[in-house]
Amino acid sequence: MLGRLFLGIHWILFIAFVGIWGIILLAIITKGTDQTFRAYGILFDGYGLGEILFSGAMSWIPIVFLFIDYVINGKWTWLPWKRNKE
């Protein structure tokens, strides 16, 4: 049961992390950064939970999750598809 929970959380964090960084890198490549970051500014208007989760999904949330997973399961699992469902 706990393994399936960690698998689900791992997939959600992985998709969010890759998706956010993919959008930012695509904006840099296409030189559309001002439009992209302006859209993010409209979405997040201050310092609330949305901003914390958005910045956290790009930086510290995956690291904290992997550390907690290591403490509980005793091994590092970097990619969600390499995780067994036990």
User: Per-residue confidence of the chain (86 residues) as pLDDT tens digits?
Assistant: 778 888 888 888 888 888 888 887 887 888 776 776 676 665 566 666 766 777 777 788 888 888 988 998 888 888 888 877 65
Is residue 77 within 8 A of residue 3, CB to CB? The reply is no
Entry pTM:
0.70
Count Cβ neighbours within 10 Å for each residue of 38-58 and write b for 16 or more, e otherwise.
eeeeeebeeeeeeeeeeeebe
Element (H, E) at 19: helix 2-29
Q: What is the pLDDT of residue 21?
A: 84
| C-alpha Rg value of the chain to the nearest Å | 15
Q: What is the pLDDT of residue 67?
A: 92
| Residue that the structure tokens 């609330």 belong to | 48
